[in-house]
Amino acid sequence: MATIHDLPTPSLILDAALLEQNLAAMAKALPGERLRPHVKAHKCSELARRQRDAGHANFCCATVREMEVMAEAGLGEDLLLANEVLDTRRLAALDARVTVAIDSDETLDAAVSGGVREVLVDVNVGLPRCGCSPEDAGRLADRARKQGLEVRGVMGYEGHIVGIADRAERERRCAESMELLKRAHADVGGDVISAGGTGTYDCNPIATEIQAGSYALMDTAYRELGHPFVQAVWLWLTVISVSDAYAVADGGLKSLGMDHGNPTTEAGKVWFCSDEHLTFAPEPKLAVGDRIRVIPAHIDPTLAYHERVYVVEGEEVVDEWPIDMRGW
Amino acid sequence: MATIHDLPTPSLILDAALLEQNLAAMAKALPGERLRPHVKAHKCSELARRQRDAGHANFCCATVREMEVMAEAGLGEDLLLANEVLDTRRLAALDARVTVAIDSDETLDAAVSGGVREVLVDVNVGLPRCGCSPEDAGRLADRARKQGLEVRGVMGYEGHIVGIADRAERERRCAESMELLKRAHADVGGDVISAGGTGTYDCNPIATEIQAGSYALMDTAYRELGHPFVQAVWLWLTVISVSDAYAVADGGLKSLGMDHGNPTTEAGKVWFCSDEHLTFAPEPKLAVGDRIRVIPAHIDPTLAYHERVYVVEGEEVVDEWPIDMRGW
């Protein structure tokens, strides 16, 4: 039976028990359709299948590729492309219920020309990214309906506040953002108010569904928020070189999302990453051939580097899931 | 005929003329075996083929996967795995001349057990990464020869100084590092002294061959060094949302290596990247559907995110090369 000691390195390792713990905690807090898991956080249809098994049949995607793979995996009951897209040519062919976010006349027209039938009006609630101004949402909805689209409601991502550590402040700012979304929804209509993320999953007063993704595998940044989710994925490396002051392991910039900075490891203090190396000061000393667990600073762009994740129960390797939604 | 305006986004675009310019400039400075191109910089066997066409038949790799793909592509005349590796099981099967770096008894033993026949002794010349101490190099070489290995010489990467902007200082520090390598070589013997990178390609006084990779596509960081190489790859994005102060394009953390910070764009000032978004202040204003060129801050980990690069002559798409050495 294979154990983690038999695996090639660098490898991503997913602890099945910790994943189940995260999925169960979220399914309890936001059962069924109250959660629309965002697959961009993991890009893995097998993991999405576990989220569906936990009761959530509706999903968020960030790319057309993610939509395609989810549909092919039989997980297309209700797929929301929670992103603006102009190249809609591949959406009409999907064997899935497809809803697309729109925030402009151009993205509305692209939805129509791509044969999309359902949309959400994406509203800017404070994050400088996509989303129309709240005042423009009603006009867009009217125009969409005139063009034959079903407008299911609104979405708005309060991404600028999901990381605020102070809970009271996070709640206050979230309520402010959601007030904007509520007003837009009054103009737009529809059943859906889609918003939120792992940072605000339990304090969004307005949303009918929460678009959380990171909760399943977790991020070091979200650890500070006091949520019941734990880091379930790590990078598994082999020490390939040792000197007096430091050791070198066999994974680096091409196996780690680096926008949140260096990874961390219980094995010592990280000095720096190179393309395929991690230089760190081991504590205690290590030998060539020892293996270490490295915690990526940002999970989403880390998984996007890997072809697969190995699933373990304790040290036993029980499965191997392709990260099959990579690319575009 | 397809042009860049027909391509899906996000896409990586490679300017064929600029690539040729870089390859020609390097082949003139370091013809034939004086250069051992490092394929980790691009992970693309089609690009490696152009480097061979420019006269360089010997290559460097950083991973076993890179060795495998290069051998399969018929580019295995002389492949150096310029990295320490303990899992050598896949190396014996390669249809290629295989040389592996060793810096310890353990990596030496791994080479023997993997059926490797030729090695270089990797010497630490100042960068805190792999490499034995210069004093230990002769002992390792003796031990390797006793175990039946052919010791071709030494390698040592002065990666801690390749980015020093002041040329005189760079030369001085490089000479210091190479003095260490020269002394180790005196103990080790063999024909090969392999060292250097794009930053020091023209000021290494000792190396018989230079392990440069970045010169082919170039990096923003290396632009400051006054070398004759130009940035030949960019990320091609579509503007998907526009507001008064900023615009949003459809590529971000999952299409860009971020360890050197944010990318840059002639289209305006970059604010921040999200997983699949780039928020920037366009100058002049842009409309939804406009496309922009984005220059990655670090090329190597950028290419590792992409399945392919589109090759263009002007705006015409003339080819599509798989980034086929990704993964491990």
Residues B96-142: tens digit of each pLDDT:
999 999 999 999 999 999 999 999 999 999 999 999 999 999 999 99
Residue of A240, A271, A279 lying closest to B107 (CB–CB): A240
* Chain B residues within an 8 Å CB radius of A289: 86, 106
Structural domains in chain B, sorted by start: 4-12+230-322 (2.40.37.20), 16-216 (3.20.20.10)
Residues A62-109: tens digit of each pLDDT:
999 999 999 999 999 999 999 999 999 999 899 999 999 999 999 999
A258–B254 CB contact, under 8 Å? no
Residue of B275, B300, B307 lying closest to A62 (CB–CB): B275
Q: How confident is the model at residue A223 (pLDDT cuts 50, 70, 90)?
A: confident
A106–B246 CB contact, under 8 Å? no
Chain pair A-B, CB pairs under 8 angstroms: 142
* Chain A residues within an 8 Å CB radius of B271: 128
**B13 neighbors B309 (Cβ within 8 angstroms):** yes
Residue of B107, B246, B327 lying closest to A288 (CB–CB): B107
ipTM greater than cut 0.90? yes
* Chain A residues within an 8 Å CB radius of B107: 240-241, 288
In this model, does residue B1 exceed pLDDT 80?
no
* Chain B residues within an 8 Å CB radius of A306: 327
In this model, does residue A1 exceed pLDDT 80?
no
Residues A151-182: tens digit of each pLDDT:
999 999 999 988 888 889 999 999 999 999 99
In this model, does residue A118 exceed pLDDT 80?
yes
Coil, strand, or helix at residue B236?
strand
Cα(A130)–Cα(A148) distance, integer angstroms:
23
Task: Provide the pLDDT for residue B97.
Answer: 98
The pLDDT of B9-29, averaged and rounded, is 98
**pTM > 0.90:** yes
Residues B187-228: tens digit of each pLDDT:
999 999 999 999 999 988 899 999 999 999 998 877 778 889
Maximum alpha-carbon separation in chain B: 72
Strand partners, B321: B309
* Chain A residues within an 8 Å CB radius of B288: 86, 104, 106-107
Residues B30-42: tens digit of each pLDDT:
999 999 999 999 9
Strand partners, A153: A120, A192
Cα(B32)–Cα(B29) distance, integer angstroms:
10
Coil, strand, or helix at residue B249?
strand
Sheet strands (E) in chain A:
11-15, 58-61, 78-81, 98-102, 118-122, 150-156, 192-195, 209-210, 233-242, 247-249, 264-265, 268-274, 277-282, 291-295, 308-313, 316-322
